[in-house]
Amino acid sequence: MWSSRLMFVLAAAGSAVGLGNIWRFPYIAGANGGGSFVLVYLLCIAIIGIPIMTSEILLGRAGRQSPIHSMRDLARQSGASPMWQLIGWMGALAGFMILSFYGVIAGWAMAYIVSSAQGTFTGVDAAQATAIFNGFIGDPFEVVAWQTVFMVMTVVIVARGVGEGIETAVKYLMPALFILLIALVVYAMFSGHFMEGVRFLFSFHRGELGWDGVLMAMGQAFFTLSLGMAAIMTYGAYMPKDASIVGTATTIALLDTLVAVLAALVIFPLVFANGLESSSGPGLMFVTLPLAFGHMTGGQIFGTVFFILVTFAAVTSSISIMEPAVAWLVERLYVPRKWAAIVVGGVAWALGLGTAFSFNIWSDVTILPGKSFFDTMDFVSNNVMLPLGGMLIALFAGWFLDAKIRNDELALSPGMFAIWRVLVRFVAPAAVFVVFVMTFV
Ligand code: PFF
C-alpha cells in the first residue's frame, strides 16, 4: 500500500511522466505537423484518457491484485465472462514490447549524461549536434551497453518492491525535473524563435491531419498516461481507499500534459532558431537540447543534471511498465519477486536489441511495411494494443462491473456520476472504435 494519497499521486505521475513527454511527444507532434496534432492529442487526453484512467484505478483498487487476477475475480463477482482476464494478458504483452524500446531510448539519455558532463556539447552547432547523435546511435555496442545499464537499474528497483525505491525517486526528482524544464522554457523564450515554436504547436489548420495522424495522437495519449496495459490498474491496487479516483486521475493527467507541453515549448523554438527539421524523428530531443546546453552559461552542469533527471523520469515509468507482468508471475507461479523481475527484464532486454539495432546494423530491416523493428514495436504497442486494451477496460468498468463495487469505489455525486458513466460507457470506447475503423478499414 502507498503510504498516503499523495504518494499514490506521485507514483502514478512518476509512471505517466517519462520519455513519452520529453522525448516522444515533441518528435511525434513534429512529425505530424504540430498544431492540429496537438489539438487532437489534448482532446484524446480529456475524453478518452481521463475516463479510462478512472476506470483503471477503479478496477485496480477494487481487485487489489495483479491485473490478470483482479480482472478474473471482478468478472466473477460481476457475473461476467472470465474472458475479461484477457485485458491483463494483453497488458503484460504490451508491457514487454514497450519496455523493450523504452530501455533503449532511456539508455540514450544515460549516455547523454556522460557526454554532457565531459563537455562534448560545448559550443556545438546544429550540424555537429546531429553528427554526435548519429555517431552515437550508429554504434551498436555503446547503445546496447547503455540499454543494459538501464535495464539492470529497473530490475533492481522492481525487485525491491513498491515503496522504498519508487517513493523516494518520485518525491524529490520529479519536482526537480519540473523546475529545470521551466528554466529551459525561459531560456527558449530568449532564443528569438519562441513565438514560432508556439505557433507551430498551437495553430490549428483544418484538414492538415489525416486519420493516421489522429491514430498517432490517440496512441500518444495512451502512452503518455500509461494507459491501456493495466499499469495504472496495478498501481491502483495499492491505492488507499479514501482517495478520490476522479480527482486523482484528473490531477495526474493535467500534470502529465503540462510536462509534455513544457518540453515541446523548449524544443520547437530551438528547432526553428537553429534551422533544424521539426519532423526529424526520434533524435529530435537529442539534437536540440545539446544545442541549448552547449551555448548557455553553466550548460555543462545544467545539461548533465537534466539528463540525470530524464533518466530518473524514465526509471519511474519503466518500473511501472514492468510491474503488471512481475506481479502476475509472483502471484501465479509463486516465484520470488526478484526472479520475476530478472526474467521480465531479461526478456524485454533481449527484445530491445531489435530496437537498438534499428538505428545501425538493422536500419534497412523492415517488419511491418516501411517500418523498422523499433517503429513496428512502437506502432503495434502504442497505437493498437494500448487503445484496444483501454477500450476493453472502459467497456468492462462502464457496462459489466458490479454496480455496488463501482459505486463504492467511485463515490461520486449523482451529477458527476452521470457524466462519468456517459464518458466511460459511450464516449471513450466509441472514440477509439471510430479512430480504428477510419485508420484500418
Ligand atoms: N507514460 C510513460 C511515458 O510517458 O514515458 C510510458 C509508459 C509507462 C507507458 C507505463 C505505459 C505504461 F504502462
Condensed to tens digits (0 to 9), the pLDDT of residues 90-132 reads 999 999 999 999 999 999 999 999 999 999 999 999 999 999 9
pLDDT of residue 332: 83
Exposure string of 399-414, with b = 16+ CB inside 10 Å and e = fewer, is eebbeebbeebbebee
CATH number, domain with residue 413:
1.10.4160
Kindly compute the dihedral angle of the four CA atoms of residues 367, 373, 375, 378, in this order, to the nearest 10 degrees.
Answer: 110
Question: Distance from first CA to last CA of the chain, Å, rounded?
Answer: 44
Give the least confident one: 238-252, 307-321, 398-412.
238-252
- Ligand 1 in reach of 316 Cβ (< 6 A): no
CA of 225 to the centre of ligand 1 (A): 6
Exposure string of 118-133, with b = 16+ CB inside 10 Å and e = fewer, is eebbeebebebbbebb
Residue among 307, 282, 102 nearest 184 (CA): 307
CA of 226 to the centre of ligand 1 (A): 4
Condensed to tens digits (0 to 9), the pLDDT of residues 309-322 reads 999 999 999 999 99
CA dist., res. 362 & res. 354, Å (int) = 8
Domain assignment of residue 24, given as a range: 5-439
Q: Between 7 and 139, whose confidence is greater?
A: 139
Domains contained in the chain, number:
1
pLDDT of residue 274: 93
User: Is pLDDT above 70 for 421?
Assistant: yes
CA of 321 to the centre of ligand 1 (A): 7
Residue among 439, 392, 305 nearest 56 (CA): 392
Which phi and psi angles does 125 have, rounded to 5°? -100, 180
Atom of ligand 1 nearest to the CA of 20: 4
- Give residues with Cβ within 8 angstroms of 275, minimum separation 6: 126
Residue among 79, 253, 272 nearest 192 (CA): 272
Give the least confident one: 103-107, 108-112, 189-193, 417-421.
189-193
User: Is pLDDT above 60 for 368?
Assistant: yes
Atom of ligand 1 nearest to the CA of 223: 9
Q: Between 161 and 359, whose confidence is greater?
A: 359
> Which of helix, strand or coil describes residue 163?
coil
CA of 119 to the centre of ligand 1 (A): 31
CA dist., res. 378 & res. 94, Å (int) = 10
- Ligand 1 in reach of 98 Cβ (< 6 A): yes
Give the least confident one: 16-25, 172-181, 263-272.
172-181
pLDDT band at 330 (very low <50, low <70, confident <90, very high): confident
pLDDT band at 191 (very low <50, low <70, confident <90, very high): confident
Question: Is residue 385 within 8 Å of residue 94, measured between CB atoms?
Answer: yes
Q: What is the pTM for the complete model shown?
A: 0.96
pLDDT of residue 2: 59
State the cell numbers at 248: 486523482
CA of 436 to the centre of ligand 1 (A): 21
Condensed to tens digits (0 to 9), the pLDDT of residues 172-184 reads 888 899 999 999 9
**Closest residue CA from atom 12 of ligand 1:** 226
Condensed to tens digits (0 to 9), the pLDDT of residues 297-313 reads 999 999 999 999 999 99
Q: Pick from 317, 322, 380 the residue to mutate for probing ligand 1's pocket: most ligand atoms within 8 Å of its CB.
A: 317
- Ligand 1 in reach of 220 Cβ (< 6 A): no
**Closest residue CA from atom 11 of ligand 1:** 226
What's the mean pLDDT in 229-240? 89
pLDDT of residue 1: 55
Mean pLDDT, the chain, integer: 93
pLDDT of residue 238: 80
CA of 158 to the centre of ligand 1 (A): 15
Q: Between 164 and 360, whose confidence is greater?
A: 360
- Ligand 1 in reach of 226 Cβ (< 6 A): yes
pLDDT of residue 346: 98
Question: Is residue 261 within 8 Å of residue 100, measured between CB atoms?
Answer: no
CA distances from residue 216 to 43, 120, 223, 379, 429 in whole angstroms, order as listed: 13, 34, 10, 8, 17
CA distances from residue 85 to 49, 80, 98, 396, 412 in whole angstroms, order as listed: 21, 11, 20, 11, 27
Handedness of CA 423, 39, 49, 2 (dihedral sign): negative
Atom of ligand 1 nearest to the CA of 224: 4
- Ligand 1 in reach of 20 Cβ (< 6 A): yes
Question: Is residue 11 within 8 Å of residue 167, measured between CB atoms?
Answer: yes
CA of 288 to the centre of ligand 1 (A): 23
What's the mean pLDDT in 402-420? 95
CA of 380 to the centre of ligand 1 (A): 15
- Give residues with Cβ within 8 angstroms of 434, minimum separation 6: none
CA of 401 to the centre of ligand 1 (A): 26
- Ligand 1 in reach of 381 Cβ (< 6 A): no
